[in-house]
Chain A
């Protein structure tokens, strides 16, 4: 099975950029995903990147994929207090089966 690893915590000041990192072991994923989970809520898909791309930008979000190193990152520009949440990266295998990392808890300091 796939192993996906993330650092557990990240704190940034409001207005700064946040960078959340993820490493994975299985290179067969067609897509790699970033999900956001707020307290008491389900997972919300933030963005995804196709495995043959290096970068994808979507408003304040930038995803970078380094296939050689099996490293995925999510950059949030101009981080706001509403961005405080747990962020999960996920790989995908088989019939759309997602393998999630442990999640990174982002705390935005006003």
Chain B
């Protein structure tokens, strides 16, 4: 079974530029998550989707971050404009559903460096 795919793996941009990350979850997984992992810290949930609807985006900085999952499969996370403090690894995860018994499987992440 293929795992969670993310691209690109690495991205370097200058502050105030825009950037987008892509995630393809495990086939059949209805729930998709985006996490931000700053160096030296644990991952922090940014947004959770159930199919193409948002379940929780309470920690998403909505003035500059946006995410969509239009067809309930792939998802994109965008930052516009980027700030220095956005430098982090952005992890995508998916699970069969939103229940506590549904294991989250993580992709390899996209490492973003903002100069």
Contacts and interface: CB of A to CB of B under 8 A. Distances in A.
Q: Looking at chain B's contact residues, is the secondary structure mostly helix, strand, loop, or mixed?
A: loop
B48 A95 contact: yes
Interface in B94-115: 95, 97-109
B55 interface: yes
A100 interface: yes
A48 B95 CA distance: 15
Interface of A: 4, 30-31, 35, 40-45, 48, 88, 90, 92, 94-103
Interface size class of B (residues with CB under 8 A): 20 to 34
Given A31-B100, A42-B107, A96-B95, 16 more contacts: A30-B100, A42-B91, A42-B106, A42-B109, A45-B103, A48-B103, A92-B100, A95-B56, A96-B31, A96-B48, A96-B97, A96-B98, A96-B99, A97-B48, A98-B104, A100-B44
